[in-house]
Amino acid sequence: MNVQNAASYMGISVNTLYVWRHRRQGPPSFRMGPGGRVMYRRDLLDAWLTEHQNVDSRSNPARDPVRKAPQRRPVRRAA
């Protein structure tokens, strides 16, 4: 799918998708055709979304910082 369709499928703006691609942070893309149009595969978009959903603390209770026990700071001693 092209950039517009991929952005719509993911529920983000086209600009966000371009910025992610420029920073190499977004889903995998490739160029196709004589004009070198940027394209995305739906299965790779789904895999990328699933991977990032599992990293987010709001959708993964294991990563929720509120559920973790507070950590004590190490004691610093004067020299």
Helices (H), 1-79: 3-10, 14-23, 42-55
Mean pLDDT per 10-residue run, the chain (79 residues)?
95 94 92 92 94 70 66 78
Q: Which helix (H) or strand (E) holds 62?
A: none
Bridge partners of 5?
A: none
pLDDT at residue 16, rounded to an integer: 94
What CA–CA distance (Å, rounded) separates 26 from 71?
Answer: 33
- pTM, 2 dp: 0.66
